[in-house]
Each structure stands twice: as structure tokens, then as C-alpha cells.
Amino acid sequence: MTNHRNPKRPVLPMTCTSNLFSQECASNIDCRQDDAENIFYQDLSCGNFPVDKNEEQSIPYSPRKAQACKKIPVTVTTFVRHSKYSNGRKMINEYVKERRINQGSYGKVVLYRNSNSGTPYAIKVICKSRLRKFRITGSETAMADVLREVSILKTLEHPNIINLVEVIDDQKSDYLYMVLEYVESSTVSNILETKGRIDETTARRYFKDVIAGLIYLHHHNIVHGDIKPENLLVGENS
């Protein structure tokens, strides 16, 4: 399994509850966005809503020929195997555990490394039974929200959106694993706390990538809904 992204580029976490991606994702904008350098979106799980297709377009997009957005399909694995690597570290299938990255309301995110390629991945570990008990609306569970996230990420591909590589969902296991592209990063909030400010040139560069991602998402009827310094991740070498 190969990571086809530049790990030096930063990341922007993002959430979404749209269920509009049951069909193939096709776009009238250039999915490659070769000049995007700084900001990524990741974590499409809660707090957002679809845009009404009948509403007037308020964000411009490039009128290019439609194309499928996911060049490399997401791998869906229906079994999970727990073991230990030669150094004693825990393994999930071919992934070796390194360290916990963070803990969210829907689950923890752990850094794993592919034992064959050495490629690092951020794996989101989700307890299915716990999220089935947690309701985000009167009729919908948090687990349904996560499954929507998976379904959306399976279709999206953009330089400013974290790539979903694999989903591990064994019906005999209480855990679902989302294998995501990993990028070394720091939040804009942390940068502001450390440096006190971000110079105008850098801020403009980051803002350009934020807008590029938003144009792509809005064109696919997704609203982010939670853009703030804590959710903007900037790559280490940006």
C-alpha cells in the first residue's frame, strides 16, 4: 500500500453528515489541484449538512469536463487480525502500532505503520456498540454518522482533503478501523499560541488552500460547518 500524497503539506480537519455520495463522485472542477500546497481537510464525521442543489451557486468553480474523483478505490477489508510485531508492538492486520495521536468524541486516532512498506497511517479506531447507543438526533445514532463519513470519503479526492485508504470492518469485531493518510502537522491554534501571529504572506497561502478545499466540497454539496483555528492543521514543513 502506497501513500500517494506529499507528507509535507498541511491538513485541515473536516466533518460532514451528508449522505449524497451513494453514487460515483463526478466533478466539473479539476480534482488534481496541482498548485495546492498547504491545507488539507480530514475527518468527515459530524456537524455539517448538504447544500440544497436548487440554491443559487455562490462559489465559483472551474467549468472543466466532469471526471471521477477517486483514482485509487478505497480498500474494504472484512476481517481483523490482532497480533504482535517482532518488537512486541501490537498489530492490526499488517499495521504496527506506534503511538496515540489524539482522542475524539467518536473514537481515538492512533499512528500505525505498514509493516511491509513502512508507510505511516493515522487509523481511527471506532467502538461500534458505544456509538450505536449515542444519538446525535432523535432518530439517528453516531454510528450512522460515521458510516456516512466513510461513504463520503470513499468518493472524495482532492489535495486538500485527507485520503481514506482502507476501511477494516469485521462483523465479528466491535471495532471499525478507518485507515487514513497521515501527515505530520500542527494546528493553526497551536501555532498562534507559540508564535503569537502568522505573517500575512503565510496566512494568504493557507487561506488559498482552505478556499480550494471549500470550493471542491461545496461543489459536491457539502458544507464544512466548523472552520476554526483548532481544526486547521498545517504540515511541519509548510
Pick left, alpha or beta for residue 43 (phi over 0 → left; psi -120 to 50 → alpha; otherwise beta).
left
What's the grid cell of residue 52? 440544497
CB 44 within 8 A of CB 77: no
Q: Which residues contact 192 (CB under 8 A, 6 or more apart)?
A: 198, 229
Could you count the other beta carbons within 10 Å of the beta carbon of residue 87?
6
| Per-position b or e across 29-62, b if 16+ CB within 10 A of its CB | bebebeebbbbbbbbbbbebeebeeeeeeeeeee
How big, in percent rounded to 5, are the helix, strand and coil portions of the chain?
A: 20, 30, 50
CB 16 within 8 A of CB 208: no
Which of these is catalytic: 43, 169, 209, 226?
Answer: 226
What's the grid cell of residue 51? 447544500
Among positive and negative, which fits the CA dihedral 69, 73, 76, 82?
negative
**Pairing assessment for the beta strands 175-181 and 185-187 based on DSSP bridges:** unpaired
8 bridge partner residues: none
226 is catalytic: yes
* Active centre residues (catalytic): 226
